[in-house]
Amino acid sequence: MRYCGRDLDRARDEELSVLEGGDPVDHYLLQFWPAPAGPDRVVRQTSRTAEYWHRHARSLPPPPSPQEEAEAESRRREERESVARAAREEAESLLWGGRSPSPSLRRVGGDALELVQLDRDLADAVDAAGPEAQRSMARWAARQAVVKAGLIGVDRIATALESVERGEALPEPIDEPGRAGEGLCTGPGVPGARADATGGPRVDVAQQAKALTALRAAVEPNPLRAALDALFAAATTYGGSYPDLFAAARREIPGLRAG
């Protein structure tokens, strides 16, 4: 690139008159041509103003090299990623009751988050207890739900509960979450009580339907999910008294206490 300017000093001296509408007194020529990259150099200098600006330019630090630019961009990218990661961790902590979950608790799905909202410490204890204690917890919770819902005296429900406690599949149609299964909550001999959900996880929940949900949860292949889902379903049968259920769980399951 080539730059030429005439009357720079005069233009500087008459700058005010030009701004007030006078005729311009300086002229410039810019010329560009292809050439290999190289350092800037002054070919010709003909004014005090140009000398001043050349001196100022030489006092400036050199521009960053391509490697320095790449390193700076890498640092900026790492900083952005760090900020985004911190934001994700904070959001996850809020979602999970104030602290990040273990990988297994994060992955398990089901009603894990629902149970965490009721009792995060219990969810962590179940998570840490191991598969055997988790399966015991799932079966225990299913029994508590059936008893609380008043279904233990209904032959078909009691038979299904015995299957769960033996580690067997649920009989039909209780294994179906749709209309056929829920129809077991009505008919002769089936009580019609509803949960007192004051302060509890659900409002006006049919205890019988949630007891069936607990039975189905207890046979989930993943023992952690089975325990968490069955506990939450049992909690909905207890309504506002669900803390009593959770206190009993801590007393009754030895592996849970150890966890």
User: How does pLDDT run across 151-170, given as a tens digit for each residue?
Assistant: 888 888 888 888 888 888 78
Q: What angle do CA 85, 88, 89 make, to 5 degrees?
A: 85
What pLDDT does 176 receive? 65
DSSP letter (8 states) at residue 206 = B
> Which amino acid makes up residue 241?
S
Distance between CA atoms of 152 and 217, rounded to whole angstroms? 17
What pLDDT does 164 receive? 87
What pLDDT does 203 receive? 32
> Which amino acid makes up residue 162?
E
Half-sphere exposure (Cβ direction) of 81: Cα atoms closer than 13 Å: 6
DSSP letter (8 states) at residue 40 = -
What pLDDT does 36 receive? 85
Mean pLDDT of 185-197: 54
Q: In which region does residue 178 sit, left (phi positive, over 0), alpha (psi from -120 to 50) or beta (all else)?
A: beta
Threshold 0.85, pTM exceeds: no
Q: Is residue 44's pLDDT more than 80?
A: no
What pLDDT does 256 receive? 66
What pLDDT does 93 receive? 78
Q: By three-state DSSP, how is residue 37 classified? A: coil
Rounded to 10°, the helix 120-129/131-148 angle is 130
CB atoms within 10 A of CB 143: 20
What pLDDT does 198 receive? 41
What pLDDT does 233 receive? 93
What pLDDT does 209 receive? 82
